Amino acid sequence: MRPRIKVCGLRDGATARATAELGADAIGLVFYPPSPRHVDLAQAREVVAALPAFVMSVGLFVDAEAGFVRDMAAQVPLDLLQFHGEESPQYCAQFGRPFIKAIRVKPGLDLLEYALSFAATGGLCRGLLVDAFVDGVPGGTGASFDWSLLPDSLPLPLILSGGLHPENVAEAVRQVAPWSVDVSSGVESSKGIKDLGRVAAFIQAVQSAATRDGQ
């Protein structure tokens, strides 16, 4: 089976719709004000309303006040929450909604133990997203990391992210065989502006890598 594809940081309905039509399985909405991809409530609602059935909307938060997460989740139809900061399993589970947890990988991290702590949240944690560690920036950096640091198996579906782009994603899929890939900077013409040509190239690269490997 080919890896699922999430494109993160969509900010308008037309681009979100086109991204879905190109074959994305999920799109991400960044509810993190310092990000150049940040969306306000009106933008988020416009993006989600543009999605066809069976394309998921994912709301991304970074160490947000719980009230802010509740408020956005009540006003925007989000299928999944993404926690991309230092949130604990208890924090993530308190919303009673399915979520994915991001972790920034660096040498010495016990990824298995980390995954086990989130797998114990009563089925709410639907995947572990692995990203590059860049000091002082929580994500969306375009930086990649050493994929050989990833263990062979984990108790949660693995979502590979961090510096993926159309030119390296096929190799990533072959080496890591993730459940899903997640991209933001690698399909942009400038920070926060998605380039649909690069989105198409990214999706085609994932599909062809998976086909060649008989997935």
Ligand X SMILES: O=C(O)c1ccccc1N[C@@H]1O[C@H](COP(=O)(O)O)[C@@H](O)[C@H]1O
Query: Which spans of this chain sit near ligand X (rule: CB under 6 A)?
Result: 8-9, 28, 30, 32, 35, 37, 60, 62, 84, 129, 131, 138-142, 161-164, 182-186
Name the residue nearer to ligand X (CB basis): 141 or 215.
141
Q: Shortest Cβ distance from residue 177 to ligand X (Å)? A: 18
Q: Which is nearer to ligand X, 3 or 140 (CB)?
A: 140
Can 8 be counted among the known catalytic residues?
yes
What is the token pair recorded at 80?
């999944």
Closest C-alpha to 100, from 133, 123, 134: 123
Strands 188-190 and 193-194: antiparallel
Q: How far is the CB of 97 from ligand X (least distance, A)?
A: 18
Looking from the CA of 142 toward its CB, the CA atoms found within 13 Å total 10
Among 12, 131, 135, 213, the one annotated catalytic: 131
How many helices (H) and strands (E) the chain has is answered by 7, 10
Stretch (H or E) spanning 49: helix 41-49
Indicate the SS3 state at residue 34.
Answer: coil
Pick 87 or 182: Cβ nearer ligand X: 182
Provide, rounded to whole angstroms, the least separation between the CB of residue 59 and ligand X: 11
Is residue 111 within a helix (H) or strand (E), and if so which, with residue range? Answer: helix 111-119
CA atoms within 13 A on the CB side of 43: 15
Minimum CB–partner distance for residue 104 and ligand X (Å) = 9
Is 131 a residue of the active site?
yes
> By C-beta, is 64 or 124 nearer to ligand X?
64
- Report the nearest approach of ligand X to the CB of residue 72 (Å): 15
Q: Looking at this protein, which amino acid is placed at residue 11?
A: R
> Encoding tokens for residue 41?
């409530």
Catalytic residue among 8, 92, 125, 182: 8
Nearer to ligand X, 149 or 212 (CB): 149
Instruction: List 128's β-bridge partners, or say none.
Output: 101, 158
Identity at 190, one-letter amino acid code:
S
- Which of the residues are catalytic? 8, 131
